Amino acid sequence: MIYCDVNKAAAGKIKKVFIKNIVLRILKYLSINNANISVALVSGADIKKLNKKYRDKNSATDVLSFCYCKKPLDGEIIICYNEALKQAKAKNHRLEQEITLLLAHSLLHLIGYDHKNNREELEMKKLENIILSKIKKQNELF
């Protein structure tokens, strides 16, 4: 069973059902059938505090991922709405596309992918692109 919860702050900025749908589609593509995922959209100030507390980096970031258990997958994804919006504008695509990319990236982190070196980064980026292309084929959000 897959459970996905989205915080209330997301409701005013992007539809909760959109986020849940994307998470479910990515997990299905990754063949994950048992998961508990929490997604929060937060401000730049909030993510900066969390980044400082958990990564000792005193700056805002676009997304943070916290894995509590791998089997069944249990984790939390925290997306900075302001950073996602800024990145979407810089890449000249819709906010929903950027949120989808950040969710794919974070879910890959939760299952164990990382990008500490070039090989890992290329492997992770390749899988992100495959996921995004699958989602793109299923709807017109890109």
Q: Quick one: fold of 2-138?
A: Collagenase (Catalytic Domain) (3.40.390)
- pLDDT-derived band of residue 141, with 50, 70 and 90 as boundaries? low
Q: What is the pLDDT of residues 44-100, one digit of tens each?
A: 999 999 999 999 999 999 999 999 999 899 999 999 999 999 999 999 999 999 999
Query: Tens digits of per-residue pLDDT, 2-51?
Result: 888 888 776 677 888 999 999 999 999 999 999 999 999 999 999 999 99
Per-domain boundaries in the chain: 2-138
Residue 114, judged by CB atoms within 10 A of its CB (0-12, 13-18, 19+), counts as exposed
The pTM of the whole model exceeds 0.75: yes
13 burial level (CB within 10 Å; 0-12, 13-18, 19+): middle
Residue found by looking up tokens 């596309």 in the block? 97
The confidence score (pLDDT) of residue 13 equals 77
Q: How do beta strands 35-42 and 2-6 pair?
A: parallel
Torsion sign across C-alpha atoms 121, 35, 63, 84: positive
Helix (H, G, I), strand (E, B) or coil at 38: strand
DSSP run (H or E) holding 15: none
Say what the pLDDT of residue 140 is.
52
